[in-house]
Amino acid sequence: METALLIISILLIVLVLLQSNKSSDASQIITGGNEVLFQHQKERGIELLITRLTILLGIAFFVISFILYVK
């Protein structure tokens, strides 16, 4: 079980690092860049896959951690 947690945590780190940087979009909204505010772009293709895998691996990480804690 500990090995699975280690593998999931490494994959989770890699997937988070692969995600696109959205911090510049947030700073433009705060500073007054209106063009980004109304430009809602959906994730498509590989970005959508990376986002969904990150969510699934995050849930798996917490479930396995909870199981190991209770055990």
Q: What is the mean pLDDT of residues 19-46?
A: 64
Structure tokens at 33: 């860049």
Can you give the pTM of this predicted structure? Answer: 0.70
- pLDDT(40) > 80: no
Q: Which helix (H) or strand (E) holds 53?
A: helix 46-70
> For the segment 41-70, what is each residue's pLDDT rounded down to a tens digit?
677 788 889 999 999 999 999 999 999 999
Measured in whole angstroms, the distance separating CA 30 from the mean position of its chain's CA atoms is 22
Give residue limits of the domains in the chain: 2-70
Task: Please give the C-alpha separations between residue 18 and each of 36, 43, 47, 58, 69, in angstroms, as whole numbers.
Answer: 22, 14, 9, 15, 30
Predicted pLDDT of residue 24: 54
